[in-house]
Amino acid sequence: MIVELGHFALVIALVVSLLVSVVPVYGVMKRDPALMALAPIGTLVVFGLVAIAFAVLTHAHFTSDFSVMNVWQNSHSLVPALYKISGVWGNHEGSMMLWLLILTLFSAMVAAFSSNLPVRLRTLVLAVQGWIAAAFSLFIVLTSNPFIRLDPAPVEGQDLNPVLQDVGLAIHPPLLYLGYVGFSVCFSFAVAALIEGRIDAAWARWVRPWALGAWAFLTLGIAMGSYWAYYELGWGGWWFWDPVENASFMPWLAGTALLHSALVMEKRDALKIWTILLSILTFSLSLLGTFLVRSGVLTSVHAFASDPTRGIFILVLLLLFIGGALSLFAFRAGTLRSGGLFAPISREGSLVLNNLILTVSTASVLIGTLYPMLMETLTGEKISVGAPFFNLTFGLLMVPLLIVLPFGPLLAWKRADLPGASQRLFVAVLLALVLGLAVFYAEQGGPVMAVLGLAAGFYIVFGALVDLWGRAGFGRVASGQAFRRLFGLPRSAFGTALAHLGFGVTVLGIVAVTAFATEKVAEVKPGATVEAGGYQLRFDGMKDAKGPNYTESRAHFTVSRGGATVGDVWSSKRIYMARKMPTTEAGILTFGLSQLYVSLGDPTPDGGIVLRVWWKPTILCIWLGAVIMAVGGFVSLSDRRLRVGAPRRAANRTALPSPLEAAE
Amino acid sequence: MLFWIAVAVMTALVAILLLLPLARAGKGASLPEAEDRDKEAAVYRDQLKEIARDRENGLISEAEADYARAEIARRLIAAEARGGDASAAERPRRRRLAEMLVIVALPAIGVPLYLLTGAPGLPDQPLEARLENPGQNIELLLAKMERHLLQNPEDGKGWDLVAPIYYRNQVFDRAVEAYRNAVRLQGASPERSGNFAEALIALDGGKVGEEAVAQLNAVLKIAPGDARARFYLALSLEQQGKRAEAFQAFQAIRKDAPADAPYLELVDRHIAATDPSKPAPPAEAAAPGNPDAADVAAAEGMSGADRQQMIMGMVETLAARLQNEPDNFEGWMRLVRSYGVLGMKDKAAEALATALKNFPADTDKGGQLKALGESMGITAEGGK
């Protein structure tokens, strides 16, 4: 009966979402505070109901209740407990439920923590969130209902896709959705502002925490997904320009642009229309990603089940929301007042350049992702736009970004002094070049592009530090005072520096791995040794082992360097019993930031086995950089100034705000 | 009933929560437009403070600070000047309408939408609880046994129990694995090893392979007269094309058989097929490949009839269950198949006819049933 109550809770959540979408808007039109007051309470109720439904579904998965079709299709009684729970969103219906849960969570947070928002704006924001929630719960109830029952219930489930039986599934989708769906709040703010017909600097201030939070989570989500693909798929690659990856990367690029343009809007009351458009586009790209992944247009590990009715339903939602928002934009943009003038060389100018580059790169990724699909639909011809296209277009676009990035924070608002900024960056450039060359010589004979790439990475890292250095006033005031001032800097300054520094670290990782990674394919017999990255791997032999729901044959390797043993690693091939599906589990050994990656191929008839061994120098920098970026986002989010706004809160200076409070 | 009470309580709670603001604000709250303006102004006042902080830290020059201050002050003034008069006239009629909407919409939209896809009041069925109390459900009993064997893979008796069930359900790979374990743990016996051989033959699509021959020889070592083992060994000879030797072997079985043995007819057929005095039948017809249903049934007859009885018991249980659950499609498929394999064509036809009443032949499932019937030579109209 619990299952059925969960189902009913979901349906009622849909009805309440509909009420929240309609009644408060009428209240805004009629200036009736009572009707408007339905928005926050209704939003909280919707969240409560969706949370109940989600908890019920999780319970059904946990107890292996195979009378629930979704559990039967995607679980198995022998799956370990953690994967029983993460398996809830390891399938289409469940992942849409997670989507909805996070959407309503964000709505609830807006309802609970934005007493500093004007009531009319807040009401409209919540109503727009209500539209999205209503549309998606309708989608779930009608086409992707996870509460469909089977009677009589089967005895055993069909198992969770073995590739998804990994801690990655527990972490990656929730983080990614927190990012994806978090941008819905920015979208709602934009639509609300358009309905109201006015936007100003304060709007950007109110939106910024949501954009920051969503961006930081999306950064982590993408990084996690990339690392998961790296260690689980056994190809040793960390980014494949796969359409599904691109689907999450596009909102990230647009969201990054949004963060920066919102800054200009907040400080200078400029770029307002553009910021609104970016808010709409970012969430539209999230929706597009959802459509691409969920409709079965793409076949990948993410497309759990393809069903054309679902695709059409999402397509209609997509057109409704994106088309509606953009029409509203076109209709209203003319009436919005723009303001705030600035010279080309200024903080604003650099941010405009940033926006320009990010938007163009988003467009290039979008074209690269959609073009093959369009071609296939129109001509039936299968073409592949692979890594070369993206590396060329995207890579080229990133070059100016890398050069300009460190200048941004150094430039003054409105009009700035370029030579002055360059002078301050000189140290960073010098250090970067020296270190870039040093690494080049250490690795001996990498291509010239790698040196420049490494230099660019270091340049961004030091550029970020120079910014903090300069703000603290080192060199201009006594160092004691400078340190005091360094610690007194607003957290958003640290956030900016960290995010930029993180980006630099990621660039370093990417360049180093691309230029210096080695790959070796060898046929070995027990006792044989393979050399990679200066380490010797001795293949000790195979062993059969049994897991809770799989059998595997594992190969053991002893790793040594210069004769001394430095570690050992297992690499295995598994067969998951329920689906009779093989997977490879790569063996990964970490040395500092670099990794040795061993993946097993097929056994040879004479008792040996085919091995693929990669040496991945400083590969961890790629994800470490992303984590630093996200931390920068959270640090910035915790900035006291972001939560100021409600007069009564402003007095409370001593309290340390947590990221959640920052939304107040 | 309890379910609908819970549903009603849930709906009522949600309705009350939603009606709360409508009722409370009804007591003359006015639109807080002035407050809204304050909230906007607060942002700009804060920006002014920030300018002061930056100036203090020497991050911007006095001239820049002045510029910025002037700009923010302009926004501040604009914000405070905005907004009309906040006269929210009380309109109880509109609110009553909203209240009605809340009260009506929740059940009026919610319940039909739920009924569209829901299964009202259907109890939860967590696997643990079902395994603890499996009742007559053979699949559950089997699952329980499987779990037990996963924990105790050395329990030979358990393997002995599940092996024939797998065989009967035509899951031959599992049957082979189970028999292999059973023979390993419980030792060879005419019954067990013979069954193992039979499972191997079934897995191989009717071919008597090396491992099966080894098992059959083991049977004959213990029970030299075992008719089933002799039959399959003879069949192996026939499959290898050694017709003369096969002919002799079949004749030997014929000679030793009691007059009322159920397998006589089968053996006679093979004697006729391998008779060296006649030309070998065309490969197609002779294809000793799959032992047909009769082959299997007859071979079963050679060993314990009690096993047959046990299988019959399982099938009867399924049939009884389907009386109460006529829309259990999988169940009907299995029942028809079971009767067919057991050679009870009348019963199979009867079951097929009943099943087709629930799943008309022009539907997807009905089509599957019909196809199954045709593949086994059964028609719903009353056997063949």
Q: Which residues pair with A420 in a beta bridge?
A: none
The DSSP result for A58-89, as a single string, is: HHHHHTTBTTBHHHHHH--TTS-HHHHHHGGG
CB atoms within 10 A of CB A280: 25
Nearest-by-CA chain B residue for A157: B127
Whether A69 and chain B come into contact, CB under 8 Å, resolves to no
Which chain B residues are Cβ-neighbours of A77 within 8 angstroms? 127, 143, 147
Whether A18 and chain B come into contact, CB under 8 Å, resolves to yes
The closest CB to that of B18, out of A26, A45, A63, belongs to A45
Whether B22 and chain A come into contact, CB under 8 Å, resolves to yes
Three-state secondary-structure class, residue B234: helix
- How far apart are the C-alpha atoms of A261 and A267, rounded to whole Å? 10
Establish, for the pair of chains A and B, how many residue pairs have beta carbons separated by less than 8 Å.
219
Mean pLDDT, chain B, whole residue set = 77
In tens, the pLDDT along B227-286 reads 888 888 888 888 888 888 888 888 888 888 777 777 777 888 888 877 777 766 554 443
Of the candidate ranges A17-21, A492-496, B103-107, the one whose mean pLDDT is the lowest: A492-496
The DSSP result for A491-526, as a single string, is: HHHHHHHHHHHHHHHHHHHHHHHHHH-EEEEEEE-T
The closest CB to that of B42, out of A269, A473, A647, belongs to A647
The DSSP result for A630-650, as a single string, is: HHHHHHHHT-HHHHTTSHHHH
Contact A155 B143 (CB under 8 A): yes
Three-state secondary-structure class, residue A114: coil
Contact A18 B105 (CB under 8 A): yes
Nearest-by-CA chain A residue for B121: A1
* Burial group, residue A107, by CB count within 10 angstroms (0-12, 13-18, 19+): buried
Contact B110 A473 (CB under 8 A): no
In tens, the pLDDT along A63-116 reads 888 888 888 888 888 888 888 888 898 888 888 899 999 999 999 999 988 778
Orientation of helix B345-358 relative to helix B329-342, angle to 10°? 160
Whether B142 and chain A come into contact, CB under 8 Å, resolves to yes
Tell which B residues from 251 to 310 touch A, by Cβ distance under 8 Å. none
Please check the confidence at residue A9 and state whether its pLDDT lies above 70.
yes
Judge whether A160 and A83 are in contact, CB under 8 Å.
Answer: yes
The closest CB to that of B75, out of A201, A414, A473, belongs to A201
Domain B138-294 has CATH 3.20.20.60: no
Tell which A residues from 414 to 433 touch B, by Cβ distance under 8 Å. 414
What secondary structure letter does DSSP report for A179? Answer: H
- How far apart are the C-alpha atoms of A133 and A125, rounded to whole Å? 12
> Cα dist. A527→A109, A519, A542, A552, B294 in Å?
59, 20, 11, 21, 56
CA nearest to A501, candidates A625, A316, A391:
A625
Instruction: Give pLDDT, residue A471.
Output: 75
Whether A548 and chain B come into contact, CB under 8 Å, resolves to no
In tens, the pLDDT along A186-239 reads 999 999 988 887 787 888 888 888 999 999 999 999 998 888 888 877 677 778
- How far apart are the C-alpha atoms of B101 and B108, rounded to whole Å? 10
Judge whether A108 and A43 are in contact, CB under 8 Å.
Answer: yes
Do the domains spanning B138-294 and B305-375 agree at the CATH topology level? Answer: yes
Tell which A residues from 479 to 498 touch B, by Cβ distance under 8 Å. 485, 488-490
Contact A30 B38 (CB under 8 A): no
Query: Residue B54 corresponds to which amino acid?
Result: D
Which chain A residues are Cβ-neighbours of B32 within 8 angstroms? 33, 119
Task: Measure in Å the smallest separation between the Cα of B25 and chain A Cα atoms.
Answer: 5
Contact B125 A67 (CB under 8 A): yes
Residue appearing with tokens 């006239």: B89
Which chain B residues are Cβ-neighbours of A413 within 8 angstroms? 64, 68
Which chain A residues are Cβ-neighbours of B47 within 8 angstroms? 201, 267
Instruction: Give pLDDT, residue A53.
Output: 95
Backbone angles phi, psi at A105, to 5 degrees: -60, -45
pLDDT band at A58 (very low <50, low <70, confident <90, very high): very high
Which chain A residues are Cβ-neighbours of B53 within 8 angstroms? 490
CA nearest to B196, candidates B181, B176, B214:
B176
Instruction: Give pLDDT, residue B334.
Output: 79
Which chain B residues are Cβ-neighbours of A644 within 8 angstroms? 42-43, 46
Which chain B residues are Cβ-neighbours of A412 within 8 angstroms? 60, 64
- How far apart are the C-alpha atoms of B109 and A17, rounded to whole Å? 12
Contact A7 B53 (CB under 8 A): no
Task: Measure in Å the smallest separation between the Cα of A143 and chain B Cα atoms.
Answer: 10
> HSE on the CB side for A6, CA within 13 Å?
23
Whether A11 and chain B come into contact, CB under 8 Å, resolves to yes
Whether A143 and chain B come into contact, CB under 8 Å, resolves to no
Contact A116 B42 (CB under 8 A): yes
- How far apart are the C-alpha atoms of A454 and A452, rounded to whole Å? 5
pTM metric for this prediction: 0.76
Best of B40, B139, B140, B141 to substitute, by most chain A Cβ atoms within 10 angstroms, is: B40
Please check the confidence at residue A15 and state whether its pLDDT lies above 90.
yes
The closest CB to that of B18, out of A16, A33, A412, belongs to A16
Judge whether A48 and A65 are in contact, CB under 8 Å.
Answer: no
- How far apart are the C-alpha atoms of A178 and A217, rounded to whole Å? 6
Task: Measure in Å the smallest separation between the Cα of A98 and chain B Cα atoms.
Answer: 20
CB atoms within 10 A of CB A367: 14
Please check the confidence at residue A30 and state whether its pLDDT lies above 90.
no
In tens, the pLDDT along A623-637 reads 898 899 989 888 888
Instruction: Give pLDDT, residue B300.
Output: 52
Query: What's the mean pLDDT in B83-110?
Result: 75
Token pair, residue B206, equals 């009717």
Which chain B residues are Cβ-neighbours of A151 within 8 angstroms? 119, 122
Whether B47 and chain A come into contact, CB under 8 Å, resolves to yes
- How far apart are the C-alpha atoms of B284 and B63, rounded to whole Å? 103
Whether A167 and chain B come into contact, CB under 8 Å, resolves to no
Instruction: Give pLDDT, residue B311.
Output: 64
HEC string of A186-221 equals HHHHHHHHHHHCCCCHHHHHHHHHHHHHHHHHHHHH
Whether B141 and chain A come into contact, CB under 8 Å, resolves to no
Please check the confidence at residue B156 and state whether its pLDDT lies above 60.
yes
Token pair, residue B177, equals 């694995």
What is the maximal distance between C-alpha atoms in chain B?
121
CB atoms within 10 A of CB B136: 10
Task: Measure in Å the smallest separation between the Cα of B297 and chain A Cα atoms.
Answer: 29
In tens, the pLDDT along B344-369 reads 777 788 888 888 887 877 777 777 78
Three-state secondary-structure class, residue B338: helix
- Residue A27 neighbours by CB under 8 Å, 6+ apart: A33, A34, A35, A36, A37, A38, A39, A123
Sheet holding A609-616, edge to edge: A518-524, A609-616, A594-603, A587-591
Dihedral, CA of residue A6, residue A11, residue A17 and residue A20, to nearest 10: -100
Backbone angles phi, psi at A568, to 5 degrees: -145, 160
Instruction: Give pLDDT, residue B13.
Output: 93
- How far apart are the C-alpha atoms of A214 and A374, rounded to whole Å? 30
Please check the confidence at residue A644 and state whether its pLDDT lies above 50.
no
Whether B7 and chain A come into contact, CB under 8 Å, resolves to yes
pLDDT band at A59 (very low <50, low <70, confident <90, very high): very high
Task: Measure in Å the smallest separation between the Cα of A262 and chain B Cα atoms.
Answer: 15
A177-197 residues labelled b (16+ CB within 10 A) or e (exposed): bbbbbbbbbbbbbbbbbbbee
What secondary structure letter does DSSP report for A43? Answer: H
Query: What's the mean pLDDT in A25-45?
Result: 87
Alpha helix stretches (DSSP H) within B135-282: 138-151, 156-168, 172-186, 190-203, 210-222, 227-239, 243-256, 264-274
Dihedral, CA of residue B28, residue B32, residue B34 and residue B37, to nearest 10: -170
> HSE on the CB side for A46, CA within 13 Å?
38
Number of alpha helices (DSSP H) and beta strands (DSSP E) in chain A:
23, 9
Which chain A residues are Cβ-neighbours of B24 within 8 angstroms? 34, 37
- Residue B83 neighbours by CB under 8 Å, 6+ apart: B33, B34, B36, B37
Whether A641 and chain B come into contact, CB under 8 Å, resolves to yes
Contact A16 B328 (CB under 8 A): no
Tell which B residues from 69 to 108 touch A, by Cβ distance under 8 Å. 71, 75, 78-79, 86, 88, 91, 94-95, 98, 101-102, 105-106
Whether A269 and chain B come into contact, CB under 8 Å, resolves to yes
Query: Residue A67 corresponds to which amino acid?
Result: S
> Cα dist. A545→A105, A525, A548, B332 in Å?
43, 20, 10, 40
Indicate the CATH number of B305-375 among 3.20.20.70, 1.25.40.10, 1.10.3470.10, 1.10.3720.10: 1.25.40.10
Judge whether B166 and B174 are in contact, CB under 8 Å.
Answer: yes
- How far apart are the C-alpha atoms of A498 and A160, rounded to whole Å? 39
- How far apart are the C-alpha atoms of A590 and A588, rounded to whole Å? 6
Task: Measure in Å the smallest separation between the Cα of B331 and chain A Cα atoms.
Answer: 10
Whether B36 and chain A come into contact, CB under 8 Å, resolves to yes
pLDDT band at A518 (very low <50, low <70, confident <90, very high): confident
Three-state secondary-structure class, residue A548: coil
Q: Domain ranges in chain B?
A: 42-79, 138-294, 305-375
Contact B126 A64 (CB under 8 A): yes
